[in-house]
Each structure stands twice: as structure tokens, then as C-alpha cells.
Structure 1
Amino acid sequence: MDKKKQRSLAQWLKGQSKLGKTWLMTAIGLAFLSGLFLVAQAALLANILHELIIEHTDKADLWLSFVGLAVFVCLRAVCSWGKEQAGYRAGEAVRLHIRHLIMDKLETLGPATIQGKPAGTWASLVLEQVEEMQDFFARYLPQMAIAVLIPFVILIVVFPLNWAAGLIFLVTAPLVPFFMALVGMGAADANRRNFKALQRLSGHFYDRLRGLSTIRLFDQAEAESKHLRVASEDFRKRTMEVLRLAFLSSAVLEFFTALSIAVTAVYFGFSYIGELNFGHYGIGITLFIGVFVLVLAPEFYQPLRDLGTYYHAKAQAIGAAESIVNFLDSTPEHQSSGDAKIASDVITLEATDLEVLSPDGAVLAGPLSFSIQAGQKVALVGQSGAGKTSLINALLGFLPYRGSLKMNDIELNSADLSHWRKQVSWVGQNPQLFHGTIRDNICLSSTLTSDADMHTMAKAAYADEFISKLENGYDHHVGDRAAGLSVGQAQRIAVARALLQNGKFWVLDEPTASLDAASEKLVMASLSQATKDATTLLITHRIDQLGESDQILVMDKGKLVQQGTFDTLKDVGVFAEMIHAVDRSDLDA
């Protein structure tokens, strides 16, 4: 990664920190206050030693100094605790914001792009890589200010007492950040390589974990184990490279810090035995001055050492930010849209010489020419791989296209895609229910919903009959992927959700594919009622569900090979072959 790219990513990270600005300022303020308490603590300690050793003052006469010393120690501890808490809150606020940016981008890109990468890759992007930015916002950014403020305060109090000690501090201080930057130059690249290895490993492992039963079925466990070992070994090497740089950086910083403190100690030692006679202002070097400066010496370099330690966090954050920024800045071709609002009363659709393209420009389906009138119920049929899913992704604005695709006479490329998608009610073959209550899942697509509306739609979807029997009713807890519910129950909740959205264009993608006969009957009855006045596109392999369709579109190998009513198509072409195939399977059964 070149330096220009690193600077760009660092600026992006600092720009995100504005969301946690209040917490960052609180952390810096508490650290500065702790620095002031440190100076007071060092002065009290030096004064106590001076009084006891030089002035031979009785310890009882110094009780107030001892109490003050204890108070300042406690205050510094409180400030340190508060600084850590404020830093954590700053990092938390920024991480939540970045995750929202990623999730919003994923929502905009849609399933066509998401399915192009392993699920583990997205999980790594949203979870691990965002999490690796925590120390940058919580520690590194506050420490940049602290590394300037605390040494500056110490220099202010040391120079009036002894200019030589102050000069040693001033000359040696730049060595720490200089060598920190020198050692850390390759850290960002090492972290970037580490995160890419982590993405590969996460994607590989997560996908194999999901397909574990299939791997065992085909006796491929041994081969997949070897692939995982190779990916794990690559990740181990990348991680050790990062750790090696981190330990090297720490060792260099400790060396130069210890050397600087040693020079200060040697100066005072030779001054006390009379070998050096400079640095003071004519009043000599007292024990108070020597102890005070030597107590402050490690604390002068400590913020710089901490900055060096957290510099690794900066390199880590830059390495993590590269993939995130590239993802957020990506502008796929299919995201071209305008401001035109597609009217939400009725939906008509017209495609002329439509070619559906992949994100990289390959033709997935087409050319296709067809029209769907307002209120029509149109069935889209074809064997697996015929191009049905590609066409649906184009209709929803998730894939680019050539030719013309108009909704209510508005070209989809010039329409407001967000506004258009709000008019689409979707019911798929695998209902997606999320962690939460049944109420949360039904109301997911609607922000302003009364309980009466929710109950009405649940009854219309025949979901109320089983929800009312649950112990907690609509507050019944649902696990991820509809855990705790049958497929039929989950599907009816998905139908209720779609009903509540009240879209004017319905897309039904094999809505009864996984249902038993009883659940299928209930779901189809509710969908027929819901789509009575809406434009509907039904994707199905079920020939028996096509009788009520106003029009049937038959696709084969990416082409629209037939279109018409059931009666006109049932005896000719690909559609007739599909009917005969169904009849043969029924006879075999």
C-alpha cells in the first residue's frame, strides 16, 4: 500500500471519529487532568523526601503531605478509569456508525452482489474488521493529543527548575516518534495482508461449516480439511508477521526511552558529586529538584511510549479500513438511478429488448420483450437456470440491464430505486425471520403500525390461528432463521409482513415450495386475497398454480421462448414439455 493510500485511509478514519467527538474530548480532558495531578503528586513526593532526608523533619509534621499524596494517587486512578471508559464509548459510537454504513450499502447492493462472495467474507467485513478499529478510536486518537499535552506540561514545570534536564527532555523526545514511525512503516501493509488472509479463511470456513452434511455425504471431509489447513497456515504466518512488527516497535521504543531517562539520571548523579556544574539558575541542585525531575522523567516519555504502542492500532485500523472503504466507495453499474418517482397507485411493466447483465457486464438473460398490465397476475416459469432470478433482480434494480425496462412509463434507470422497492411486496420460498419477537418480524417493513393493523394482517395470512396459541402470543421469541417455528408458520408470518407493507407490485418466488398441503392451501388463499387488486408476478414450478394467471411467461436458457395464457400454451413448446414432465413424475409416484 503506497503512502498516499495510507494517508487517505487515515483521513477517512479521523473523519469517522467526529461521531465520537464528545467522548474523545472527555478522554483527552481526563488524561490532561491526570497529568496535572501527576505533577502535584511528584512535587509532594519530592518535598516529603527532601524534608525527611535533608531537613530531618519529623514524619508526624508531614501528615498533610502524606494525605495529599494519597488523594492525588486516587484522583489519578479515577481519571485513568474515566479516560478508558470515555475512549471505549468513542470507539463504540464510531464502530456502530461504520457497521450501519456497511449494512446500508449491502441493502443497496442487494442479493445479486451479496451472493457473489462467500458469507464468511461479509461476516469478516462487518464483524472482525470493524472491531479491529476500536483501539484506533478509543486509544490512538486520544493518545495523539495526550502525547503532546502531558510532555508540554512537564517541560513547563521542569525548565524553571533546571534547564539542562528540560533540554535533555526536549532533545530526546522526538527520537521516540521518529523511530516509532520508522519501525511502523510496514505495519499497515502487514495488517492489510493479515485481514485479506482472515477474509479468505473466514469465508472458506463458514461456507464449509454450512455445507458440512453435504461434504460428509460426498466423502470430501479429508480434502476440505487439507484446504482449511493451508488457509490457516497462511493466516498464522500473516499474524506472526504483524506480531513481529509490534514487538519490534515496542522494543525500540523501550530502548530509547530507557536511554533518555538514564542520561537524565547520570546528569543529576554527576551534579550531586560535583563533576557537573551547569543547568541550574545559581541556586544549585537540591534533592527536591533531583527527585522531582527524576520522578517526572518516566512520565514525560510514557505518553510517547503509549503512542508508540497504540501506533500498532493505527496500522491495524488502516489495514482493516482498506477493504471497508473500497466496499463503501464502490459504485456498481446497476446502482445508476435517478429521482423519478414511480406512481404507487397501480403498476404497469414493459420490457423491450431487455438484456440482464451481471455486475461485470456479462449477459445473464435476454433479449426479452413483454408487458404486464395493471392488476394482472403473471406467472414466470422455466427450469432451474432459465434466468428467472436474474430477471427478478433486474426488476428490483439489483442488476444492470441494456434495452428498456419501464414501470408506469418510467425507465427504471432513471427512477428512485429506494422509492420503487418500497412498493414491492416480496414473499420467497425461504422465509427470512430474524432474532426478535413475532411482532418485530411482522412489523419489519412498516415503521408506523398499530396493533389493530398487525392483527388484521396476521388473520388475513392465517397466522393468527397459531400465534394466539403460543404462550406469549405476538411477543413469542423467534430465533435466527425462524428457529422455534415450522416452515409453514414462518411462511405465514412472512405473508403477514408483506400484507402489512401493502405493496402495489407483488413478487411471489415459489411461496409454497417448502410447505405441506395444509399450509400451502392457507398461504395461497391469503396471497390470492392480498393480490386481488395488485399487479403480481409469480415465479413457480407448480403447474397447478397457473390456472388463474392472466399471462404466462416461459423462459429457457435465458430467453423468453413463450408467452400467453395457460390454454394457448399447454399443448406447444417448452411449456407443454414441462406439463408432460409433471404428468410423468405423478405417474411414477
Structure 2
Amino acid sequence: MDKSVEKTLTHWLKQQKSACGHYLNLAILFGILTGISLMCQAWLIATILQGIIIDQLPKAAFSEHFWLLLLLTFLRGALAFARERSSFKAGTQLRLQIRAAVMDKLAALGPAFIKGKPAGSWASIVLEQVEDLHDFYARYLPQMVLAGFIPLIILMAVFPINWAAGVILLATAPLIPLFMILVGMGAADANRKNFGALARLSGHFMDRLKGLSTLKLFNQGAKEAKAIAAASEDFRERTMSVLRMAFLSSAVLEFFAAVSIAVLAVYFGFSYLGHLDFGHYGSSISLFTGLFILILAPEFYQPLRDMGTHYHAKAQAIGAAEELMALLNTDLDTHLKHGAVEHSDAAALAAPISIEADNLTVFSVDGTQLLGPISFTLTPGQHIAVVGPSGAGKTSLLSALLGFLPYQGQLKINGVELSQLPLPLWRKQLAWLGQEPQLFCGTVRENVALGALAQGQALTDDAIKALLVKAQVWDFVDSQPLGLNHPIQEQTLGLSVGQAQRIALARALAQQAQFYVLDEPTASLDSLSEQAVQATLTDAMQHTGCLMVTHRLDSLTTMHKVLVLDKGLLVQQGSFAQLAATDGVFKQMLHELTVEPNVAEVVGGMTQTLPANAPKGAC
């Protein structure tokens, strides 16, 4: 990984530590107190052994020392527990905040941005990569501070009693972080590549799993199984590469710590044998001095070794942070930044909805122009259909209207620019129904009540039943053993497309919206289900406006106006009869459409345009 990139990611990770709250500081404090208690234990052990072995004092003279030593043993255990607990809470607080920030960011960026990656990749970011930040804050950051404090405290205790031992400790201490850096130089890059492989594997597997029936029908199951096996093998190799880094790092650190302690032991051994006579301050080296320093020596290197052990947590966090930082630092387009709630805005949206677009140009999240410039108006109560070939920009228009895509030009709702309206307030006025209904894992009751919850209301069971009756799906729900508690599984498993669409329709009706936004609401339905949905929409939208995208031209005779898009431009607009009688894209689409004979008769028999304020049928 480029050093500048690694430095940027490390800086970003450290900026997030405020999310850990006071737990991070508590973990450091408990770690320092643990080190001090261990020094006290070393002093007590050395004092007892010096007195009993060299000074030949009775054991009773050290009874208080024994009790203090026992007390410190329990105290060290309590401090170690408190440190681990505080570290865990610090990591937990951080994960909760980062995960909430990621979810809020995805909600703000909207579905148009999310569709840029497979669902499995987002799952990897939200779950795996956030989870892998834990040890960086719970272990590495506290240990980095302790690796500086505890050796310094030990040196302050060692130098006054033996300067040679202090010099040995001071000279050998840099070996551990030096070799830790050398071994760990490639760890961050290996982790970054590992997370990339995991995201690809997750996305690849999720997409193939959702399209399993298609793969089976085209006899591509074996081929895709090999592709998944190859992606899995790539991920395995990268994971093993990361583990090799971690084990090599630990082995190197243990080796140099052992060598350093051995040098210190050799110094004291030769000093006791009389071959070395330096390092003391006038008097010979006592048993107390040797024991005290040798007991402290492993603890002098232990924080450095622990930092090396946890260094892979830093590398892991850097690898995980790359996509997280990119996501959280993604700027919302100025046209996606909506205003705050004002009384004038609320009053404007309380009136029947009108829409005015003037030189409206819609862009993708990466700045590619998708639609426009186009201009049109929709008066209160008016029903407008948007038609055109695939890729003409129909869905882009709806996405801009819903606040999911940035735009330039004017898009006014009741005279107020959409970018100045608070999105939650605007969306409360809308009922949305698409061609692929999204029902959530739960019960029928919970899914239908979701529409009312958006309005801050609660629905009774009788009200939910009435909505399901309107959507012509109550018979199905009532026939289930659990009724309204009938479980809806993930991906609407166990429901037909028509049943799922009608439950979604009941949810939309629960909003009691002033305006309906429909995206091919009957595209995937059989004729009976289509008629049921059309009839319900006809009744629900008698006094509301509607903007609908559709490919079914045979249902446009009830629309007040039809907008025809082609290659991102508005090429025609008018009533069904006017467009059917005029050469252009719409008439060409009619000719290409295989219609029933009675539809052709309707086209030929229409002689007047519907008035804009006339109540019409379903979109």
C-alpha cells in the first residue's frame, strides 16, 4: 500500500477514537496501574528473598510483605479484568457509532448509490469491516500508549539501583518495534487486498444465489460453481497470507525479547561470579538488585511484545478503513442536501400537490447526465403517465422526484424548490408502488402498518383488515392459520408476485397520501391481479395526483396527459388521443405493441382530450 494512503487511513482511524468515549482512557489507566502493581510485587518478592536468603532473617519478619503480596495478586487480577472490560466497551462503542454512521450515510445517499455495488459487498462493509475495527481501538491504541509508559516507569525504577541494567534495557528495547515495523510493512496491504477479495466473494455469491433458478435453466450451475470456488480460493490464499504475517511477527518479537532478557541475565550472572564489576553505585550487586530487575525485565518487554502482537489489528483496521472512509467521506450533492422544516414548507405541502419542472436535468451519483433538460407541469389532481423506450430516463425522473438523484434546473413542488424541502416531510405526502414490491421479514400486520408509521400513526387490526380488503388480498390472509400474523419471509418467499404486490398496495394505501408515484405497478402481474390492483388504484386516486411510469400503453386512455421520453429528452406530450394521432415515438410504440382489437377501436374512437380536473381511473 502507498505510504501516503496508509498514513491517511491511520489518521482517519485515530480521528474516530472519540467515539470510544471515556472507556479508552480507562483502559489505559487500568493498564498503567497494572504495571505499577507488578513493580510493587517484584519489589516485595526481591525484598523477601534478600532478607531470608542473604540476611537470614526469620520469615515472621516478612508477614506483612506476604499479605501485601497476596493482596497485590488479587488487585492485579481485578485491574486486568477492568482493563479488558474497558477495552471491550471502547471497541463496542466505536463499532456502534461507525455502523450507525454507515447506515445513516447509505440512507442519505439513497438507493441509486447503493445499486452501484452488489448487496453482498454492502453486507461486507456494514458487518465484517466495521467488526474488524474493534481490536484497533480495544487493543492496539491502548497498548501503544502503555508501550511507552510502562517501560519508562520501569527504567525510572531500574536506573537508580543499577545503571548498566538500565542501559541494557534501553539499548535492546528499540529492537522489538524496529523488527515489528519491518515484518508488518506488508500487513496492511495484505489486509486491504483480503477485504477486497471478501467483498468480491460476498457480492458474487449473493448475486448467483439470487439468480440460481436462471443459472439452472441455462445449465450454467457448474460453471458458476467453479467461479465461486475460484473466488473462495483467492480469498483463502489472501487470508493465509495475512495469518503468515501475524505469526511471523509474533515469532520475531518473541525471539528478540528472549535474547534481550538473556543478555541481562548473563550480565548479572557474571557479576555474581565476580567477572564483571560495573553498573552499581559503589557497593556490590545484591540479590535484591538482580531479582528485582530480572523479574521486571520480561514486563519491560511485554508491552512492546503486546503491541507487536496487536500490530496486525492495526493492519486489519487499515484494510477495513479504506472503503469505510471513502463511503463516509462521500459528499452529498448539493441537490441532495435538503432544507430544514419551515412552517411555510409544511403549509405548502398541505395543499394538493402540483409539480413544475423547468429545464430539469437529472444526473447519476457519479455525475453522468441521465435525463434532460425537460420541462413539464402537473396540476393538482392530474394523472400523468411517463412512457418511452428502455433507457429513456423514466426511472431517473422518478428517482429525482423522490430525492434519490441530484438534478439541475427547477423542480418545484407547490411552488417550492424540491432541494429546499425537507425530504421526510415531502415523502410523507407520497405513496410509492413499484414493479418489484419490497416486503420486509416479519408479519403481514407489520408490513401493512409500515405505511401508517411513516405518518406517525398506529393502525388497529380492523383498519389493517380494511386496507387488505381494499387491496383485494384479505381472502388470502384470512385463509392463513395465523391471519395477520402470517409470516413474510425474506425476498417474499412463500408469496406469489400478485400477493406481494397487493400487500404492498395495502401498505401504500395506509399512507393516505396526496400524491401517488408508480413505477410499473402491474408489470409482473397476471391479468386477474392486474385488474385487482388497477381497480383499487382507481378508487384510491379519485382526488389525488399521480405520476406513473409504464410500458402498458393500453391503459393510458384514462390518463390526463402522457409524457414521451426518448434518449433522455421529452420528445412528445399530450393526451393519449393526441399522441396516437400524431407521428412520432408514441405512435411508433403503438404500432410495435401487440394490442387487442378493442384497444385499436378505442384509439380510433377518441375525439376529445380529458379535462385536467376530471376524476380519472387508475394510473
Give the TM-score of the pair, scaled to structure 1: 0.86
Amino acid in the other structure paired with 1:581: T
For 1:57 and 1:517, locate their aligned partners in 2 and report how far apart those are by CA, in whole Å: 103
The answer as to 2:279 corresponding to 1:273 is no
Change (3 A) 1:276 1:475: farther
1:84-123 alignment runs, 5 A limit? 84-123=84-123
For 1:439 and 1:41, locate their aligned partners in 2 and report how far apart those are by CA, in whole Å: 64
Q: Which residue in the other structure is 1:451 paired with?
A: 458
CA drift of 1:140 comes to 0.6
| Contact map agreement 2:105 2:328 (CA 8 A) in 1 | yes
Amino acid in the other structure paired with 1:533: H
Q: Which residue in the other structure is 2:349 paired with?
A: 344
CA drift of 1:301 comes to 0.8
For 1:387 and 1:545, locate their aligned partners in 2 and report how far apart those are by CA, in whole Å: 20
CA drift of 1:556 comes to 4.6
For 2:461 and 2:328, locate their aligned partners in 1 and report how far apart those are by CA, in whole Å: 36
CA drift of 1:21 comes to 2.1
Amino acid in the other structure paired with 2:7: R
CA drift of 1:103 comes to 1.8
Cα distance per residue 1:113-145 (max 9 Å; x no partner): 222222222222222222221110111111122
Change (3 A) 1:270 1:185: same
| Contact map agreement 1:337 1:415 (CA 8 A) in 2 | no
Deviation larger for 356-365 or 321-330: 356-365
1:520-539 alignment runs, 5 A limit? 523-524=533-534, 526-539=536-549
Change (3 A) 1:452 1:243: closer
For 1:486 and 1:70, locate their aligned partners in 2 and report how far apart those are by CA, in whole Å: 70
| Contact map agreement 1:443 1:497 (CA 8 A) in 2 | yes
CA drift of 1:324 comes to 1.4
1:113-512 alignment runs, 5 A limit? 113-331=113-331, 333=333, 335-337=335-337, 339=339, 343-345=348-350, 346-413=352-419, 415-417=421-423, 419-436=425-442, 440-442=446-448, 444=450, 446=453, 449-452=456-459, 456=463, 459-462=466-469, 465=474, 478-483=488-493, 487-488=497-498, 490-512=500-522
CA drift of 1:500 comes to 4.6
Deviation larger for 516-525 or 4-13: 516-525
Unaligned runs of 5+ in 2: 601-619
Change (3 A) 1:129 1:452: closer
Change (3 A) 1:157 1:492: farther
Unaligned runs of 5+ in 1: none
Amino acid in the other structure paired with 2:376: F
CA drift of 1:229 comes to 4.3
Q: Which residue in the other structure is 1:551 paired with?
A: 561
Partner of 2:411: helix, strand, or coil?
strand
Amino acid in the other structure paired with 2:594: A
Q: Which residue in the other structure is 1:581 paired with?
A: 594
Deviation larger for 70-79 or 318-327: 70-79
Cα distance per residue 1:381-430 (max 9 Å; x no partner): 34544432122122223334455433333444555555544443322222
CA drift of 1:303 comes to 0.8
CA drift of 1:475 comes to 6.2
Deviation larger for 180-189 or 109-118: 180-189
Partner of 1:582: helix, strand, or coil?
coil
For 1:59 and 1:485, locate their aligned partners in 2 and report how far apart those are by CA, in whole Å: 82
Q: Which residue in the other structure is 2:35 paired with?
A: 35
| Contact map agreement 1:197 1:234 (CA 8 A) in 2 | yes
Cα distance per residue 1:209-233 (max 9 Å; x no partner): 2222212222223433443344344
| Contact map agreement 1:340 1:410 (CA 8 A) in 2 | no
| Contact map agreement 2:364 2:405 (CA 8 A) in 1 | yes
Change (3 A) 1:80 1:376: same
Cα distance per residue 1:285-336 (max 9 Å; x no partner): 3323322221211111111111112122112211211221112222365755
For 1:585 and 1:49, locate their aligned partners in 2 and report how far apart those are by CA, in whole Å: 109
| Contact map agreement 1:334 1:359 (CA 8 A) in 2 | no
CA-atom RMSD in angstroms: 3.6
Aligned residues: 587
For 2:290 and 2:543, locate their aligned partners in 1 and report how far apart those are by CA, in whole Å: 90
For 2:463 and 2:120, locate their aligned partners in 1 and report how far apart those are by CA, in whole Å: 39
For 1:38 and 1:22, locate their aligned partners in 2 and report how far apart those are by CA, in whole Å: 24
Using the aligned pairs only, state the percent identity: 53
Change (3 A) 1:398 1:69: same
Partner of 2:594: helix, strand, or coil?
helix
Change (3 A) 1:540 1:415: same
Change (3 A) 1:60 1:557: same
For 2:494 and 2:81, locate their aligned partners in 1 and report how far apart those are by CA, in whole Å: 43
Amino acid in the other structure paired with 1:41: Q
Amino acid in the other structure paired with 1:38: L
For 1:278 and 1:436, locate their aligned partners in 2 and report how far apart those are by CA, in whole Å: 78
Q: Which residue in the other structure is 2:604 paired with?
A: none
CA drift of 1:23 comes to 1.8
